[in-house]
Amino acid sequence: MQTIESSKVKEKIYIEKLENGLTVAVIPKKEICKKYVIWGTEFGSIDNNFKLTKTDQIVKVPDGIAHYLEHKLFEQENGKNSLDVLSSLGVDANAYTTNNHTAYLFEATDNFYEALDEFMDYVQSPYFTDENVEKERGIIGQEIMMYDDYPDWKLYMNAMKCMYKDNPINIDVAGTKETIAQIDKEKLYTIYNAFYRPDNQVLVLCGDFEVDNILEEVKKRLKPNHNKQEVQRIYPKEQEEIVEKYKEAKMDISKPLFLIAYKDKVETGEMVKKDLAIECICNMLIGKSSNLYQKLYKEGLISEEFGYNYEFSKTYAHILIQNTSNNPQKVAEEISKEIENYNQTGFNNEEFERIKKKIYGEYVKSYNDISSISNNFLSDYFKEINSFEFLEEILVLDKDYVEKVFKEVFVEDRKVISVVLPNE
């Protein structure tokens, strides 16, 4: 068993790779009433092209199949839906699909081990038939239509299409009505057998656990898995340049939405350090205490929901700046001016140190929440990151490195603007 410890937040994570290949991470939180469990597999919407190494067979699956499989895994051979069973036990259960992983989770105060029985049973017991796969098609088709009506989602997807030419991140996680029409039970079993292997998964448990005891409880509920199929993921080579600088759509909204994005180069090392550098930059550039934020807010060009995010993985990386505004172009111009100012003057050392302390405090605070700890560990694990690294790296982050990242990332030629305007 491997133990990872952070003296900064006095937390430990115990990690064991079981005989069947499954990685189990236990995060003990003494005297916490709730228990949280999340089981993730490294398979998301971008994994639509791969090779089965046993047979050298190249497999191209329909867009949206990872999300489709997430839906179908709840349905069991006994006719019950595991989500309903878990809800009847009084636990809060859910699942989600992202670009690079799929996860199943529940949070419980009571009936934990009964819930763990059902939870570990359904994730390990796929049951697909022609009838139940067909039944789900209409449900997911309606979900796709619903997302098509979400202005924020349209804004995001248009930004992805502006930035990425070939990377499948520019494809909707749920696919389209046309692509999900191609999904059948055979394709779902192919995906499950290829990616839902224990050695491609991690199970995270956070709560008032004795480590050895909960590991034994997990082992008791494991089912035999004889699938040794290995997969080689195939990703297209993405160009460094953006596809187009601007895209707009019109929808039934009262005020325009905008998303300004900067396409970044994918890092193979120092991902934690770079993520923290960009978080510092965004705080100083457009955070709520920044001069630019105060100026734009007083002029009525942005609202309090003005926000930013850095998304990155092994295959993509970009910065997103989003809000509502009656003049998105003016906001974009002001941000570009501020970037140019910082390029000339650099960052103020006092402000930089203050922002570092703010970010450090936010990371420390997040360890009070069992779902945040677990979800972050799972997401970071698939990026080959140790979550505790953020606490260590932020304290030693230096301004020279941050200014170097700033000049490399906030480049006008790699900026795109996505706008959703009200229908006239």
Q: Which residues are catalytic?
A: 70
Q: Which residue do the tokens 């603007």 mark?
A: 417
Contacts made by residues 5-10, CB under 8 angstroms, sequence distance 24+: 5/388, 6/388, 6/391, 6/392, 8/364, 8/388, 8/391, 8/392, 9/364, 9/367, 9/391
Backbone angles phi, psi at 134, to 5 degrees: -65, -40
Inter-CA distances, 119 with 122, 221, 382, Å: 6, 10, 21
Quote the CA–CA distance of 86 and 89 in Å, as a whole number: 5
Class of residue 213 by CB neighbours under 10 A (exposed 0-12, middle 13-18, buried 19+): exposed
Strands 415-422 and 246-251: what pairing?
A: parallel
Helix axis angle for 271-286 and 349-366, nearest 10°, is 120
Burial of 317-344, coded b for 16+ CB within 10 Å and e otherwise, reads bbbbbbbbbebbeebbebbeebbeebee
